[in-house]
């Protein structure tokens, strides 16, 4: 498996992360099959969140593989906290208690990465920094990051942190490209020119923060999967054409499109199907040409200026 740097952590991690959001709906046997398949193919970075299945996804993950210290050392574990019913909560107390619950469910003493799950309008950065320091000093979390945050939010938090943020998890797919569109339509009077995220993609590149695209096969905000969708006939035709050139599936090419970007992103899968997971992982073996990348971008309905 090809690797990418995880921010400024010094760690090299798999280019494809395995998302575990839907694991709560799987039996232990099904979950184990997915995890073992991932490990066999070098995809040993697993993404969790305390809200996934109300914690059940983390429980099933650890129970299904019979988590042991030796097995734990063979993987990277990342989880997220901060979403509560009807609100977001980045208070020190909630972060600390959330991590204790995550560690218990995952049957481990530490997380490699903890992300704040979406922004909290009432975030007090000094308090978050205190929580992070407490967790790091106790050996419970090695590195920290965020999800769905813009540059100013990250700068505000980073001002009080002793360690650099290593990741920002953001929605991105061939059919959902606002943070790419604005960079191509600079100084233009069209909808694609609207900067909706403060230039987060370039900010992350400048500050060596790893972008982790989530929902790499979705259009809109969980609008559905674009692969095979009647909504995107031209995009699917183009992806299938390129897939034929490489002798791989459309899933592989859609994932390879993200990996082709020079930001050295780490897309997060969502599938619970071991065979489809292998198709996602295989994307790390492919480097699309510049022309192919733009062909897919335009086929999704984007117009180059």
> Annotated catalytic sites, by residue?
52
How many whole angstroms separate alpha carbon 4 and alpha carbon 45?
12
Q: At 206, is the secondary structure helix, strand, or coil? A: helix
Q: Would you list the DSSP string of 2-56? A: -EEE-TTS--EEESSBEE-GGGGGS-HHHHHHHHHHHHHTT--EEE--TTGGGGH
Count of alpha carbons within 13 angstroms of residue 155, beta-carbon side? 10
Give the containing element (helix H, strand E) for 1: none
**Closest CA relative to residue 285, chosen from 249, 264, 259:** 259
How many whole angstroms separate alpha carbon 220 and alpha carbon 45?
26
Q: What's the per-residue H, E or C state across 146-201?
A: EECCCHHHHHHHHCCCCCCCCEEEEECECCECHHHHHHHCCCCCCHHHCCCCCCHH
Sign of CA dihedral 212, 118, 131, 162: positive
Question: Do the Cβ atoms of 187 and 230 come closer than 8 Å?
Answer: no
Which tokens sit at 33? 């099959």
**Residue 193: C-alpha distances to residues 180, 289, 305 (Å):** 10, 25, 10
Question: Do the Cβ atoms of 302 and 192 come closer than 8 Å?
Answer: yes
Q: Is 160 exposed, middle or buried (0-12, 13-18, 19+ CB in 10 A)?
A: middle
């Amino acid at each position: 498996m090809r690797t990418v740097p995880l921010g400024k952590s010094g760690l090299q991690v798999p280019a494809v992360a395995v998302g575990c959001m839907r694991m709560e709906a799987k039996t232990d046997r099904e979950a184990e099959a997915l995890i073992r398949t991932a490990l066999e193919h070098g995809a040993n970075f697993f993404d969790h969140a305390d809200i996934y299945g109300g914690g059940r996804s983390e429980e099933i993950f650890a129970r299904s593989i019979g988590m042991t210290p030796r097995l734990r050392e063979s993987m990277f574990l990342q989880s997220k906290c901060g979403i509560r019913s009807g609100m977001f909560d980045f208070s020190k107390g909630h972060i600390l208690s959330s991590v204790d619950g995550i560690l218990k469910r995952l049957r481990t003493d530490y997380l490699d990465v903890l992300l704040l799950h979406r922004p909290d309008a009432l975030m007090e950065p000094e308090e978050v920094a205190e929580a992070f320091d407490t967790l790091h000093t106790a050996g419970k979390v090695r590195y920290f990051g965020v999800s769905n945050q813009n540059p100013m939010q990250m700068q505000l938090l980073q001002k009080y942190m002793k360690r650099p943020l290593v990741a920002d998890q953001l929605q991105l797919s061939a059919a959902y490209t606002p943070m790419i569109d604005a960079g191509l339509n600079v100084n233009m009077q069209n909808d694609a020119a609207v900067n909706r995220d403060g230039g987060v993609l370039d900010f992350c590149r400048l500050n060596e923060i790893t972008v982790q695209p989530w929902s790499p096969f979705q259009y809109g905000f969980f609008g559905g999967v674009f692969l095979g969708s009647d909504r995107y006939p031209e995009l699917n035709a183009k992806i299938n054409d390129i897939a034929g050139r490489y002798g791989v599936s459309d899933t592989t090419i859609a994932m390879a499109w993200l990996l082709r970007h020079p930001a050295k992103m780490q897309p997060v899968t969502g599938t619970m199907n071991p065979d489809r997971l292998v198709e996602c992982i295989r994307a790390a073996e492919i480097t699309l040409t510049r022309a192919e990348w733009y062909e897919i971008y335009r086929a999704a309905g984007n117009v180059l200026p």
